[in-house]
Amino acid sequence: MNIYVDGMGGDNAPYEIVKGAVMAAKDFNKKIHIIGPTDIINDELKKYEFESGLIEVVNATEVITNDDEPTKVIRRKKDSSMIVGINRVKEDNESIFISAGSTGALLAAGTLMVGRIKGIQRPALTVMLPSRRGITLLLDVGANVDCKASYLVQFGQMASIYAEEVLGIKNPRVGIINIGTEEGKGNELTKEASGLLKEANINFVGNIESRDLVEGYADVIVCDGFTGNIMLKLIEGLSAYIFDNLKTAMTSDTRSKIGAVMLKPALKSFKKKFDYKETGGAPLLGVKAGIIKAHGSSDHRAFYNAIKQGIIFSEKNILRLISNKIVEI
Amino acid sequence: MNIYVDGMGGDNAPYEIVKGAVMAAKDFNKKIHIIGPTDIINDELKKYEFESGLIEVVNATEVITNDDEPTKVIRRKKDSSMIVGINRVKEDNESIFISAGSTGALLAAGTLMVGRIKGIQRPALTVMLPSRRGITLLLDVGANVDCKASYLVQFGQMASIYAEEVLGIKNPRVGIINIGTEEGKGNELTKEASGLLKEANINFVGNIESRDLVEGYADVIVCDGFTGNIMLKLIEGLSAYIFDNLKTAMTSDTRSKIGAVMLKPALKSFKKKFDYKETGGAPLLGVKAGIIKAHGSSDHRAFYNAIKQGIIFSEKNILRLISNKIVEI
């Protein structure tokens, strides 16, 4: 197994990425390949002590920026850390690639360059959401804006395997996002998908309303990529709106400012619940390679966790498990 | 114009409803019909002083509960305050009916009993969301889970009229919920609808990402009823989750509790932003009657505002304006 890391992806690259990679290499005693401009990565590596041979730098001269259009990166930035990384795992099924870079670019490159596991109709982008009971794996959050019911069944099957094998959730409960909890509710897509999910070889628990997304009623929640993307961005926007307003309230006058200082420690742990650093990464499921997307704002701890998930992904041979379990529909 | 009020609808009925109705009747000097069991409503009315003739009680013996299935209410609870009210406005175009009762029941009764304005393909359920710039009218939030692109155009046209005439927003900006801001983004439905919306006689401003729902980039935002319902319930659930966690943080230890007390006044105004009492009601647009849905947890102030909107709805003759402006597609 080769572990490849996108040294230049994410808001905090290369510093936090390299730091997390070195930590992971030492803790798991695995060699990690960090991809990026050799001089930049080596400059970062000088800050740490580790056994030689534990880290290898793979040179990639280009860097993907926010201005790059995701679908054009493949041809225009062939020597970027992300494209070099995808090319590596493409050729080697047991390897994994972890990146905190552009989701759109990773999705485009992952699906277009690598290709799908045999029998998989569409790959799906997953995300891990904090919930009242732990973690919920939500997919698809943007890879497929128009879905057939059968895609959703495969999303549920793939994510079940991931949740069980990588996250250690026994017999994961799979739900479908819908507008009501009762059977028979929904639009054409969810009604058809629910019927199929009931027949599939997974622990299907039925409809989940979006208001219960964070309740933890399911470990895996499937939806079409349009709905998933809308939900994900709504969570982002609404959280920011609430926190902004909270901040304004806390600095509105002297009395409030004093109260805010008193509350600081408690609020810190409260805010921690809403950050993704502990969760690590989320896989691009259905492609013929181990590709883990770490959150764009990952610090070294988050990236370390994403690497850890990648290692389990490879060790448990998730690609083979998916390939074996999937029902061709 | 006759104003009918569902005296038994909502979490705080009949107390807050009757209180809001009496306030509105006096302030606007309009006769208001309160529908409900005569004895219960009269008991409430005894608490207030008002000119005789300003309030009339319309007897309705049954009450709709949360256990009632929305679509079955029409036949099974014919003498409920809601069904009696809908029957009244059904027969009289200039009248209005305001209810804080079950959204599902109001939607079912409103669409099935009243019928659509000629030329309108589908009625839509709207909701008013607080935003950074004021208020955003979002529709459809659940009346039509499967939509054609042309429905969304009519939603935009109808809500434009409502926003301009009832809410006083000049030349309201109409957006469509989508997964990206760039033109050409989206699923089949939003791509087609965007094209049609550009050609429609409204101030179309393009795609709105769900993360920007509360930014106030548009006064009216259209979407299919599945997506709208999902967003609405997600806002509900996520807000509750964040506030619950905030509360836990604030009571976690003595220091935090003291801080929370200091912050109380500021947090009160912060929480006010997220309640719907000031906004009042939202119309069921496209049906051949003036039906306003007040928020289920309306207090007298919220219900008063919903009645006010209903009065403007009738005075400005929104039904005729919709009928005249709508483009048959």
pLDDT tens for A35-82 read 999 999 999 999 999 998 999 999 999 999 878 888 899 999 999 999
Q: What is the 3-state composition of chain A as percent helix, strand, coil, each rounded to the nearest 5?
A: 45, 20, 35
Give CATH for domain A121-280: 3.40.718.10
Interface test with B, best of A242, A243, A250, A258 (most B CBs within 10 A): A242
- Contact (CB<8Å) B234/A211: yes
What integer pLDDT is reported at residue A177 of this predicted model?
97
Q: Are strands B203-209 and B173-178 parallel, antiparallel or unpaired?
A: parallel
Q: Please list every residue in chain B whose beta carbon sits closer than 8 Å to the beta carbon of residue A187.
A: 145-146, 224, 226
- Contact (CB<8Å) B242/A274: yes
Nearest CA to B263 out of A271, A263, A266, A239 is that of: A263
What integer pLDDT is reported at residue B329 of this predicted model?
53
Question: Is B226 in the A-facing interface, judged by CB distances under 8 Å?
Answer: yes
Residue B247: band (very low, low, confident or very high) from pLDDT cuts 50, 70, 90: confident
Q: Please list every residue in chain A whose beta carbon sits closer than 8 Å to the beta carbon of residue B211.
A: 233-234, 236-237, 240
Residue A92 in this model has a pLDDT that exceeds 90: no
Convert the pLDDT of each residue in A158-213 to its tens digit: 999 999 998 899 999 999 999 988 888 899 999 999 999 999 989 999 999 999 99
In whole angstroms, what is the distance from residue B44 CA to residue B18 CA?
7
- Contact (CB<8Å) B179/A229: yes
Residue B182 in this model has a pLDDT that exceeds 90: no
Question: For residue B10, what is the DSSP state?
Answer: S
Q: Please list every residue in chain B whose beta carbon sits closer than 8 Å to the beta carbon of residue A228.
A: none
Interface test with B, best of A71, A129, A246, A248 (most B CBs within 10 A): A246
CA distances from A169 to A159, A160, A161, A220, A310 (A): 11, 9, 9, 10, 16
Neighbours of A248 (CB within 10 A): 14
Distance from CA of B301 to the nearest CA of A (A): 23
What integer pLDDT is reported at residue A278 of this predicted model?
56
What tokens were used for A163? Answer: 């949740």
What integer pLDDT is reported at residue B279 of this predicted model?
66
CATH 3.40.718.10 domain extents, chain A: 1-120+286-329, 121-280
Of B142, B238, B269, the CB nearest to A238: B238
Residue A276: band (very low, low, confident or very high) from pLDDT cuts 50, 70, 90: low
Q: Please list every residue in chain B whose beta carbon sits closer than 8 Å to the beta carbon of residue A263.
A: 249-250, 255-256, 259-260, 263
Q: Does ipTM top 0.95?
A: no
Q: According to the 3-state scheme, what is the secondary structure of B166-223?
A: CCCCCCCEEEEEECCCCCCCCCHHHHHHHHHHHHCCCEEEEEEEHHHCCCCCCCEEEC
What integer pLDDT is reported at residue A116 of this predicted model?
92
Distance from CA of A187 to the nearest CA of B (A): 5
Which CATH architecture group holds A1-120+286-329? 3-Layer(aba) Sandwich (3.40)
Distance from CA of B34 to the nearest CA of A (A): 31
What integer pLDDT is reported at residue A21 of this predicted model?
97
Distance from CA of B253 to the nearest CA of A (A): 8
Neighbours of B256 (CB within 10 A): 21
Better-predicted residue by pLDDT, B297 or B314: B314
Convert the pLDDT of each residue in B298-310 to its tens digit: 899 999 999 999 9
- Contact (CB<8Å) A231/B210: yes
- Contact (CB<8Å) B142/A179: yes
Residue B252: band (very low, low, confident or very high) from pLDDT cuts 50, 70, 90: confident
Q: Please list every residue in chain B whose beta carbon sits closer than 8 Å to the beta carbon of residue A267.
A: 249
What tokens were used for A169? Answer: 């959730």
Distance from CA of B193 to the nearest CA of A (A): 15
Residue A274: band (very low, low, confident or very high) from pLDDT cuts 50, 70, 90: low
Q: Which residues, including other chains, have CB under 8 Å from residue A16's CB and lie 6 or more apart? A: A10, A298, A299, A300, A303
Q: Reduce the DSSP state of residue A222 to 3 states and report it.
A: strand
Strand residue runs (E) in chain A: 3-6, 32-36, 55-59, 96-99, 124-131, 134-139, 173-178, 203-209, 220-222, 281-285, 290-294
- Contact (CB<8Å) B212/A249: no
In whole angstroms, what is the distance from residue A64 CA to residue A82 CA?
8
Of B187, B214, B224, the CB nearest to A241: B214
Give, in degrees to the nearest 5, the angle at Cα B23 between B22 and B28.
105
Residue B25 in this model has a pLDDT that exceeds 60: yes
Say if residues A31 and A5 touch (Cβ distance below 8 Å): no
Q: What is the mean pLDDT of residues B210-224?
A: 94
Interface test with A, best of B131, B217, B221, B226 (most A CBs within 10 A): B226
Name the average pLDDT for chain A: 91
Question: Is A205 in the B-facing interface, judged by CB distances under 8 Å?
Answer: no
Residue B274 in this model has a pLDDT that exceeds 70: no
Residue B315: band (very low, low, confident or very high) from pLDDT cuts 50, 70, 90: very high
Convert the pLDDT of each residue in B50-89 to its tens digit: 998 999 999 999 999 878 888 899 999 999 999 999 999 9
Provide the CA A11 distance to its chain's centre, in angstroms: 15
Q: Would you tell me which residues 98-127 of chain B have a C-beta closer than 8 angstroms to some C-beta of chain A?
A: none
State percent of chain A over pLDDT 70: 97
CB pairs under 8 A between A and B: 166
Homologous superfamily of B125-276: Isopropylmalate Dehydrogenase (3.40.718.10)
pTM of the model: 0.89
Say if residues B259 and B250 touch (Cβ distance below 8 Å): yes
What tokens were used for A4? Answer: 């490849």
Interface test with B, best of A122, A185, A210 (most B CBs within 10 A): A210
Ranking A14-28, A220-234, A265-279, B154-168 by mean pLDDT, the lowest is A265-279
Q: Would you tell me which residues 249-278 of chain A have a C-beta closer than 8 angstroms to some C-beta of chain B?
A: 249-250, 252-253, 255-256, 258-267, 269-270, 273-274
Distance from CA of B198 to the nearest CA of A (A): 21
Say if residues A127 and A295 touch (Cβ distance below 8 Å): no
In whole angstroms, what is the distance from residue B327 CA to residue B130 CA?
29
CA-based R_g, chain A, Å:
20
What integer pLDDT is reported at residue A220 of this predicted model?
97
CA distances from B109 to B71, B99, B118, B138, B144 (A): 7, 12, 18, 21, 14
Question: Is A247 in the B-facing interface, judged by CB distances under 8 Å?
Answer: no
State percent of chain B over pLDDT 90: 68
What integer pLDDT is reported at residue A99 of this predicted model?
96
Q: Please list every residue in chain A whose beta carbon sits closer than 8 Å to the beta carbon of residue B258.
A: 259, 262
What integer pLDDT is reported at residue A225 of this predicted model?
95
Neighbours of A41 (CB within 10 A): 25
- Contact (CB<8Å) A250/B230: no
Convert the pLDDT of each residue in A220-249 to its tens digit: 999 999 999 999 999 988 888 888 888 888
Nearest CA to A61 out of A86, A78, A85 is that of: A78
Question: Is A181 in the B-facing interface, judged by CB distances under 8 Å?
Answer: no
What tokens were used for A252? Answer: 């509105």
Nearest CA to A137 out of A96, A106, A168 is that of: A168
Better-predicted residue by pLDDT, A261 or A174: A174
CA-based R_g, chain B, Å:
20
Of B179, B211, B263, the CB nearest to A142: B179
CA distances from A299 to A5, A10, A30, A295 (A): 14, 9, 20, 9
What integer pLDDT is reported at residue A185 of this predicted model?
87
In whole angstroms, what is the distance from residue B89 CA to residue B86 CA?
5
Q: Reduce the DSSP state of residue B128 to 3 states and report it.
A: strand
- Contact (CB<8Å) A237/B142: no
Nearest CA to B288 out of B309, B308, B318 is that of: B318
CATH 3.40.718.10 domain extents, chain B: 1-120+286-329, 125-276
Convert the pLDDT of each residue in B98-131 to its tens digit: 999 988 899 999 999 999 999 999 999 998 888 8
